[in-house]
Structure 1
């Protein structure tokens, strides 16, 4: 059964998780998570060493490596991508990129059994990264494409307006700028929720078992926005 390492640095949080799928037994998930703004470069590799040491494994035991591919912090995405690609390339293992928004949705579903989740991240520059999900049997199913937009353009997925929606992620910190119909449709919102490599490991394991692992050099971060730096208007 596969052994998979997942990394994330897409937000203020930094995390690493080691998942061991074991036949006839529960999965073993060993994880580290910390809110470490601007310290991802220093903290990520030690977290990798810690989860491997706790499992009593060396990196050579890994079957695949995964990382939070975005959307999220441009700098954080590049840090995680660089570490994950380096590990996958050095070990000659497949690499998997995991949606940050999907991981947020799975986290809410796993911990609180929410079924309909609207994940949103603060994209800065007056915009948010968003996607809506329906979670069933531990799998988030996208009801809308991942997108970047101003908060006042946000809409509930057509045909799903009457569900009990929960908003998760830093983008919900812009609540006051969202349309009234969205505020009415969202039963609760949790802007403090951060993506976690534990959820990414579970999503990546499913993708790996479906044969979706790719060579390290082929996997790239997903920014959703072409412009990666704010330029002051003249």
Structure 2
């Protein structure tokens, strides 16, 4: 009996999440037993890049394996933190390129759906919604196909205001942290069959989803791996930040001048307005 070894990485949030999955297969290449899983999931904030490689090394050591035993590298492709997405993508690319391995990109929203189903097998219709900051949400709609043993995407990853999220027509689980972030502003909170705020991006459900994708041949070459930002742009360039700061300063200065002018005119405003109106009618001419 052989085994499929898959390494899964996610740094789309403030967590550095790594999982090593070993799935036994029989001579025909079919699953022979439940996969074994080793996991590191640590809150690292903005410095996931410094923890990611050491965590990978620790998992291989625990499993008694080496990178050379690996069959594929999976990563959370987004949406999520721009810096975090680039970190996971870069490490996945580097390892896969060096080992000549396929890469499995997996949407972080699909990972939320997978997490909800693993926690509750009845969660077969999942609306995944994550706080995207800037008063918006990332969301997608998934339906589990039991015959195919795979998720079907009803609505691809989208970016919207909380109120514009489209509700599924069937009973659904709301997965992700958007419910906690927006509360009643999110119509799905009241409409959902259940709300699972713990179903978040995590390397363990990512590894399970990636294993199915690997077996189905849904992989890319290392150089083709790319983040799925969904939001095209949230970060400003240095020039844009300087320009915005200058514009705000100019507006503040103008507001201050207007305030001083209004104060200096004071009670004379009505009289000045009356004089101006009279002048317009030709009053007071000699």
What is the TM-score when the length of structure 2 is the normalising length? Answer: 0.74
2:70 is aligned, of 62, 66, 74, to 62
The corresponding residue for 2:54 is: 46
Residue 178 of structure 2: aligned partner: 171
Which residue pairs with 1:108 in the alignment? 116
Instruction: Compute the displacement of 1:189 (Å).
Output: 2.5
Identify the residue that residue 140 of structure 1 maps to in structure 2: 151
Structure with the higher fraction of residues in helix conformation:
2
TM-score normalised by L of structure 1: 0.90
Structure 2 stretches of 5 or more lacking a match?
Answer: 26-31, 248-286
User: In the alignment, what sits opposite 1:11?
Assistant: 13
* Contact 1:13/1:194, CA 8 A, preserved across alignment: no
More off after superposition, 139-148 vs 95-104: 139-148
Corresponding residue to 2:202 among 170, 181, 196:
196
Could you tell me which runs of 5 or more consecutive residues in structure 1 were left unpaired when the two chains were aligned: none
Deviation string 1:183-228 (CA, Å, 9 cap, x unpaired) is: 4312333345421111111111111112222210111000011113
* 1:35 aligned partner: 43
Which aligned pairs between 1:204-219 and structure 2 lie closer than 5 A? Answer: 204-219=210-225
Matched, 1:223 2:232: no
Inter-partner Cα distance in structure 1 for 2:87 and 2:10: 9
Distance 1:112 1:192, change over 3 A: closer
Aligned residues, how many?
A: 228
Matched residue of 2:155: which SS?
coil
